[in-house]
Structure 1
Amino acid sequence: MPGGGFAAWSRDRLAMARRGADECGDVWQLEPGVYVTATAGPCEEVLRRSQDFRKAPSPLFPPLKWPSGATTPEQRAHAHAARMRGLRPQAVAARIGEMAPTTARFADQWPMGRDVEILPLVRPTLAEIGVHYLFSEDTPALLPFAPQLFLAREALARPSRWVWPRWIPTPARRFRTRQQIAFTDALRPIVRRRRSSGRLGDDVLGHMLRPSPRYGLLPEEAILDTLPGITVATFEAPTRAAGWILLHLARHPEAAARVAAEAAVLPANPAATTSTHLDSLRYTQALVREVLRLHPPSWLLTRRTPRRTQLDDYTIDAGSTVLVCPYTAQRDPREHSEPDEFQPERWLDDSDSDPPAKPGVFLSFGTGPHGCEGAALAMAMLTLLTAQTARRYHLSEPPGPEPGYQVTTFEGLATAGLRLRATSRDRERSCFE
């Protein structure tokens, strides 16, 4: 692409991705050995062909060195399968009543009458929901470690002029290891207590402690290795998504009012909320889905090619990098009418448009073997947070010509520094009466 390359990419990655899709089509080459899939077809193909386009091992929380030896890839795969059982949509649906009180408390405690930086308020709320979903009654012992695990993630994610080999103990990596060990040391006695008592629990940890007919009982080390990463994942990307959602509630008051009217059917006691109540929030879920389409928190996914393969018109050599871009795929006019417009109705069967809008590609949670395992949990958390907030408040941005936030794209698509103001809907109604 003329004027392309990493210099232009680093200046404005979103603009470069849009330009590549517009000028070069479905697949384009950023630099030798680096390709970008920009539209639905090739994006889905890469994500589903996991043998030809492999997901790089996560460097965030690598397996620790145990006295008994490192866990094997097979044991880690079994641990992942056990974890997935606790994250299935049916498992999430059964625990909606445990999540709703925390989202209601978040809405109740929003400071009114002033502009508030919102992501630092959202993050601990979603962390509490995520940690409770994973560890249930043991949340008080493990929740204090969530902020430190997040800081370790942030430290490793900061852009750097140098790409150090993984074996070099940089300060960020040493900090990561300290937090990982501290979390693991707190989790180990919980695992042993549950196993010795026989009360395994119905949370995600409980699913991992149950023996499987296929592979039996998971080693303790395999359980401990797999949980720091998923603990951060339960609230990191959802926090980015929540920032965009709350911003859209502020910018689209009619949509926010529709969410508020829909949320009025939620029980006065949030703990009484069930999956039936959640299913009734159809417009709210459509709004969340539409925001995720426009602003996918994981807007760029990296895959590596272990062998020479074919993709579109390219022969891609072994060792190449393929960047999958849901951001452009979900803004493709062939997939969505008026793709840059915010239209939650496109996800409703009874859309007011004539003819009804036809839902297009949706890759915000990925797809294929490495699709987001926490998609159902994330949708439940975000839908409840959106409904409870819109039910209580009208949101607005600070006055002024400049946006009150900065778009960041390095590790995910986020609204850094986003500030919003909340006004009570009850107070607004009383002013007009």
Structure 2
Amino acid sequence: MGSISAANLELIATLASHCLQRTTESVKQGQAVLQQAVQPLPSCFPPGPNGDVALDFARDPLECLASLKSRYGSLVGFKLASRPIVLVSSPNFSREVFVTQSSTFIKAGTAFFPGSSLAGNGLLVSDGDIWKRQRRLSNPAFRRAAIQTYAEAMVNITEKMVDKVWRTGGVRDVYADFNELTMEIVASALFGASEASEEMAQVGPAITQAFQFFTRRATSMFIVPEWVPTFDNIQYNNAVTDLNKVVFRLINERRRQLANSSAPPRKDLLTRLLHVTDEDGSGMDNQSLRDELMTFLVAGQETSAILLTWALLMFALHPHTQELVFQEISEVLNGQLPRQTDVSKLRYLEAFIWETLRLMPPAYVVGRCACHPTELGGYKIPQGTTILVSPYLLHQDPAFWPRVSEFDPSRWMPGGDATEHMENDSFWPFGGGPRNCIGMGFAMMEVTLVLAVISSRFRVSLPVGEPIPSPRAMITLRPESEVKLRLTSRRQQRQRKSEAADEMKVIVCLN
């Protein structure tokens, strides 16, 4: 066996040093967790159970949180996997966390949204000066005038999916279909249509792999550090590597195009972010761009697919409401494809979406973290406490919502009672305060246009014998399994009715 070269010895020593450093960090983190586990909650903490609720939460997060609220009220203190947690589910406490004390209750970061190598330092997990700068530079790309330019692509991509995948209808797993649709829409908005079509074959599976990883990680009681070469970690890190290659290549190519081309700049998000600068004239570097693009890709795709899925299920469960939406779309569109200018005219469809968000908010909890000791509701909140504001629990609290379990979009129409609830802080589907969801306008326009295309062409129903899908709280409030719905072509339905009427006329004439 040959001798080991000096270069190889140096490499081995470097790797060993790196592993030792990471192991030391993991041991310190483990010691901190153990210290939290044995340390009792402060006596001045909000009321709650004595034991750790991790097992109950792992079995059924929604049932666990609902039970805590039922037993202890709208401000509950407890331990979850050794971490001190405060559950918030009332309007006034939600406003205090999101708005009044927004500088105290900062982003929960990777403690609540694991997968730091994917999210990087993007808006989803960053805070402090980094978050302020990135939010300031990103805001122009999400203003109304900017997001309106994506409307045509949203409609065209939806039309293509309907023509290619749904065609004449039948029973489809709409959750799977919407995951593919929203991935293509958000990639088109981020990178431009041509890149989206070329790169999604690689980006789509990698994002799915990465999201599955940190979904499992977020709900696991035993978290193995990302750098440990387990099977899961290897797959996840390979997926992140694939994503990084694609995204960094697109960033570098776009920088070269902007530097060497006199053509008008493109209107995708990447180009907009490359153009924005701070007061000193500096913009985002490649790593910051990559982190924000990954944040928008992950957060924008997942939540929109879930909301569209719940909306179609509501169509199926409430056929009268579905027909009211169809009537409005027919009157506004008059047989044409929807345009950006139509969105504000579809008032009942907007109300339908708000009501879906009330009952099935994809962000069923929104995480924050106390950056220093403070008070909430007269109770002491130590530094480092995780705050979970639950829109899901608040939106279904009969103390704040009449007919709370009834699906009624009319409550959001002029004269309805829901507008009052938006004003008195009972409705937080996109979070709130300075750290609210930056993509809210994009998501609402996307869901409105997609539903307008689908509703104008299909009637949605639940197949005979198919169970009603249940929600499953993971990182988001997603369907527990497939969501199989029957899509009936409205055009074919009209043709069949017309043919049946003609046959009846013939029979009458013969008689």
TM-score normalised by the shorter chain: which range applies?
Answer: 0.7 to 0.9
* 1: CA distance, partners of 2:54 / 2:335: 53
Report if aligned partners of 1:210, 1:217 keep a CA contact under 8 Å in 2.
Answer: no
Secondary structure at the counterpart of residue 35 of structure 1: strand
Q: Would you tell me which structure has more helix in proportion to its own residues?
A: 2
* 1: CA distance, partners of 2:260 / 2:207: 29
Structure-to-structure mapping, 1:1-400, within 5 angstroms: 1=48, 5-31=53-79, 33-48=84-99, 49-58=101-110, 59-60=114-115, 62=117, 77-108=132-163, 109-110=165-166, 112=168, 114-137=170-193, 138-144=195-201, 145-158=203-216, 159-165=219-225, 168=228, 170-198=233-261, 199-212=264-277, 214-218=279-283, 219-264=285-330, 265-266=332-333, 268=335, 270=337, 273-351=338-416, 358-360=420-422, 361-400=426-465
Structure 2 residue runs of 5 or longer lacking an equivalent are 1-47, 121-125, 502-511
Report if aligned partners of 2:255, 2:274 keep a CA contact under 8 Å in 1.
Answer: no
Report if aligned partners of 1:238, 1:378 keep a CA contact under 8 Å in 2.
Answer: yes
Report if aligned partners of 2:172, 2:486 keep a CA contact under 8 Å in 1.
Answer: yes
Q: Return the letter of the residue paired with 2:176.
A: P
* 2: CA distance, partners of 1:313 / 1:246: 43
What's the CA shift for 1:237?
0.7
Secondary structure at the counterpart of residue 187 of structure 1: helix
* 1: CA distance, partners of 2:181 / 2:460: 18
Q: Return the letter of the residue paired with 1:155.
A: F
| Worse overlay, 368-377 or 356-365 | 356-365
Deviation string 1:75-116 (CA, Å, 9 cap, x unpaired) is 665344322211122322343223222223333442556422
Aligned CA distance change for structure 1 residues 188 and 205 (closer, same or farther; 3 Å): closer
| Worse overlay, 247-256 or 415-424 | 415-424
Report if aligned partners of 1:6, 1:30 keep a CA contact under 8 Å in 2.
Answer: no
| Worse overlay, 209-218 or 55-64 | 55-64
Q: Return the letter of the residue paired with 1:119.
A: Y
Deviation string 1:171-220 (CA, Å, 9 cap, x unpaired) is 35423431332223432332322331355422221221114251423223
Residue 475 (structure 2) aligns with: 411
Report if aligned partners of 2:209, 2:236 keep a CA contact under 8 Å in 1.
Answer: no
What's the CA shift for 1:245?
0.5
Report if aligned partners of 2:251, 2:270 keep a CA contact under 8 Å in 1.
Answer: no
TM-score by length of 1: 0.88
Corresponding residue pairs, total:
422
Identity %: 25
Deviation string 1:308-364 (CA, Å, 9 cap, x unpaired) is 11111321112222111010111222332112211111111154xxx8974442211
Report if aligned partners of 1:35, 1:323 keep a CA contact under 8 Å in 2.
Answer: yes
Secondary structure at the counterpart of residue 33 of structure 1: strand
Report if aligned partners of 2:370, 2:386 keep a CA contact under 8 Å in 1.
Answer: yes
Deviation string 1:264-305 (CA, Å, 9 cap, x unpaired) is 2326553xx433211111101110111011110010122222
Q: Return the letter of the residue paired with 2:104.
A: D
Aligned CA distance change for structure 1 residues 114 and 97 (closer, same or farther; 3 Å): closer
Report if aligned partners of 1:365, 1:375 keep a CA contact under 8 Å in 2.
Answer: yes
* 2: CA distance, partners of 1:72 / 1:286: 33
* 2: CA distance, partners of 1:330 / 1:14: 13
Residue 492 (structure 2) aligns with: 427
* 2: CA distance, partners of 1:64 / 1:389: 32
What's the CA shift for 1:54?
1.7
Secondary structure at the counterpart of residue 488 of structure 2: strand
Deviation string 1:6-44 (CA, Å, 9 cap, x unpaired) is 332322221232233233222012337211001222122
* 2: CA distance, partners of 1:153 / 1:298: 15
Secondary structure at the counterpart of residue 192 of structure 2: helix
Aligned CA distance change for structure 1 residues 103 and 242 (closer, same or farther; 3 Å): same
* 2: CA distance, partners of 1:318 / 1:72: 15
Aligned CA distance change for structure 1 residues 371 and 406 (closer, same or farther; 3 Å): same
Aligned CA distance change for structure 1 residues 186 and 119 (closer, same or farther; 3 Å): farther
Q: Return the letter of the residue paired with 1:343.
A: D
Aligned CA distance change for structure 1 residues 230 and 328 (closer, same or farther; 3 Å): same
- Answer 1 or 2: higher relative contact order, Cα 8 Å, separation at least 6: 1
| Worse overlay, 342-351 or 4-13 | 4-13
TM-score by length of 2: 0.75
Report if aligned partners of 2:149, 2:267 keep a CA contact under 8 Å in 1.
Answer: no
Secondary structure at the counterpart of residue 463 of structure 2: coil
* 2: CA distance, partners of 1:73 / 1:337: 39
* 2: CA distance, partners of 1:322 / 1:337: 27
Q: Return the letter of the residue paired with 2:287.
A: E
Aligned CA distance change for structure 1 residues 190 and 234 (closer, same or farther; 3 Å): farther
After superposition, the CA RMSD in angstroms is 2.8
Q: Return the letter of the residue paired with 2:179.
A: R
Aligned CA distance change for structure 1 residues 340 and 398 (closer, same or farther; 3 Å): same
What's the CA shift for 1:420?
0.6
